[in-house]
Amino acid sequence: MRETLASASAAAAKAAAFALKKELELEPYVATVDTSACAAKGACIAECPYGAVEIQEFRGKSTAVVNIAKCKGCGACVAVCPTEAVQLQGLTNREMRAMIGALAR
């Protein structure tokens, strides 16, 4: 019984701490979309495990859009984008290729 009460109290404290925060911390590496390069094929939507990507109209063109509050920066959408329109902020495809090249040497 004591263990159950302690566990319930800890869960309530965590929930209260989250609910009482004035600001929400987001992931530093979130996906962004270059709308001019996006072909809106939808592979990124199917691959995103967090439901952070959707297709929207932007300046008369269908394009993928990332909800940064849902994005966890996993890069799954980056890997499947056929036009490389999706990139992670702070860790672009170009930077990834450079790191892989350096490791391959």
pLDDT tens, 47-92?
A: 999 999 999 998 889 999 999 889 999 999 999 999 999 999 888 8
Q: Is residue 13 part of a domain?
A: no
Task: Report percent pLDDT > 70 for the chain.
Answer: 97
Instruction: Quote the pLDDT of residue 26.
Output: 66
Could you list the residue range(s) of the whole structural domain that residue 56 is in? 26-104
Q: How far apart are CA 69 and CA 92, in angstroms?
A: 20
Q: Is residue 98 part of a domain?
A: yes
- Of 95, 58, 105, 54, whose CA–CA distance to 77 is shortest? 54
Work out the number of other CB atoms within 10 angstroms of the CB of residue 80: 16
Tell me the two tokens of residue 11.
């869960």
Residue 21 scores a pLDDT above 80? no
Q: Supply the CATH number for residue 58's domain.
A: 3.30.70.20
Q: What's the domain count of the chain?
A: 1
pTM for this model (two decimals) = 0.67
